[in-house]
Amino acid sequence: MAEMIKLIESDSPSLKLKLSPCSKDLNRMELKMKLVEHMRYYQGIGLSANQIGIMERVFVMYSDVKKKEVIVCFNPNIISVSPKKTLMDEGCLTFPGLWLKVSRPESIEVEYEDVHGKKTKVFMYGLEARVFLHEYDHMEGKNFTDGVSRLKLDMAKKKQKKALIKAQIYKEQEEEREKQMKFGQSLIV
């Protein structure tokens, strides 16, 4: 496994920039592999290049979460969105532990380039559409907190803080258990 790049902090100005089309000399295959590896390492279902500091208009995502089928979308565009919207909990690797109810179109028609530069036009529905739109927002310099009221965001941040504290306590307890197990094993020898 290559060394993992740390995720960009949520308040970084670089995440507010609208990205230009991909560089002409971009090694697409290398970037695809790096993004897929980072998405899996951080246990996400999508990852935009700018989330790890690469300012290229590209993201990876699971087109089928259950089957772990990955697609890479270079220079993505949204052709159309359904008028019907769905409200659903949404999170983001850039905002660990933060969950918000976000309304998004139920289905979309999109176009993107693959690693070879070939354009693909696809109709997406449900979770697949939601993930595409979430990652596309990163390309546009937006994030999933932008469309939520200040009150809802503040309430979610309080829950996030509690969840992160619980996670830290759990991690410390697990580390202590491991130390005790190793200590116990050394006494048995």
Q: In this predicted model, what pLDDT tens digit does every residue of 139-162 receive, in sequence order?
A: 999 999 998 888 888 888 888 888
pLDDT for position 154: 87
Active-site annotation holds for 128: no
SS3 15: helix
**Which of 37, 135, 140, 176 is labelled catalytic?**
135
Contact yes or no for 16/141 (Cβ under 8 A): yes
Mean residue pLDDT of the chain comes to: 92
Provide the whole-model pTM. Answer: 0.85
Which class for 36: exposed (0-12), middle (13-18), buried (19 or more C-beta within 10 A)?
Answer: middle
Lookup result for tokens 């999933």:
144
Q: Which residues pair with 111 in a beta bridge?
A: 77, 121
